[in-house]
Amino acid sequence: MFSETLALTQNQGVNDHPALSQKKIPRRERLILALDVPGVTEAKGLVDRLGDAVRFYKIGLQLFMAGGYYELIEWLKGKNKQVFVDLKFFDVPETVKLAVAQLKGRGVTFATVHGNDAILKAAVDADSGVQVLAVTVLTSLDRGDLADLGFECDVESLVLSRARRALQIGCAGVISSGLEAPRLRQHLGQNLLIVSPGIRPVENKLIETDGRPIRRAADPRAKAEEIQGTIARIFGE
């Protein structure tokens, strides 16, 4: 996952691609590593192994269900890491508001919220100090899935519509695939963060069912540093 970037190439810079952010985000915080591991012990081991190569971590439902979720957040903050809570809060608005409020004072940077305008507004109104990222359309859904759900439009139009409303409501940004990011940037400018999940190097073959280039690497820290180097070349920071 990359914060505020697209699929990276060796030859493009931030000024060569209008979809890339001009925001002054610390370069090493543009890479967000998903801690999709079975438990807290494995998560801590990976973080220790990566050291300074990764500064931003996403922790989702798998670790939430494993137990020790808040303790892991505190441990990560103790190591000066940024934390992204990816729980895709979705419920009646008041319940979402109360849930997001539980993150106040925990040092969390981002939290994902899924749902309609009322749900997004409730999350923003929680005043938790956490930046709310709206999930526009789950990246696993295709046109057929959207038709089954009653959406009579293409994916790109739906993403843009939901992103525009999320920005008006007060969300800091959206979760969007790299395919939709150029259109979002074209229509909404630099006013929102775009966090793109599942961005992987070109050499990462589709036949790899896991597809996590850092975790699967023989030397995860070296792989992370390689990706950080590419980010640095693109953003010039």
Domain for residue 93, yes or no? yes
* Structural domain boundaries enclosing 146: 2-232
Please tell me the total count of domains within the chain: 1
Q: Residue 212 has what pLDDT?
A: 77
Domain for residue 237, yes or no? no
pTM of the model: 0.84
Q: Is 24 a catalytic residue?
A: no
Q: Residue 11 has what pLDDT?
A: 43
Q: Residue 18 has what pLDDT?
A: 61
Residues of the chain with pLDDT under 70: 1-19, 137-155, 199-211, 237
Domain for residue 198, yes or no? yes
Q: Which of 58, 77, 81, 88 is catalytic?
A: 88
CATH classification of the domain holding 215: 3.20.20.70
Q: Residue 235 has what pLDDT?
A: 83
Domain for residue 100, yes or no? yes
Q: Residue 221 has what pLDDT?
A: 97
Q: Residue 236 has what pLDDT?
A: 75
Instruction: Reduce the secondary structure of the chain to three states and give it as a string.
Output: CEECCCCCCCCCCHHHCCCCCCCCCCHHHCEEEECCCCCHHHHHHHHHHHHHHCCEEEECHHHHHHCCHHHHHHHHHHCCCEEEEEEEECCCHHHHHHHHHCCCCCCCCEEEEECCHHHHHHHHHCCCCCEEEEECCCCCCCHHHHHHCCCCCCHHHHHHHHHHHHHHHCCCEEECCCCCHHHHHHHHCCCCEEEECCCCCCCCCCCCCCCCCCCCCCCHHHHHHHHHHHHHHHHCC
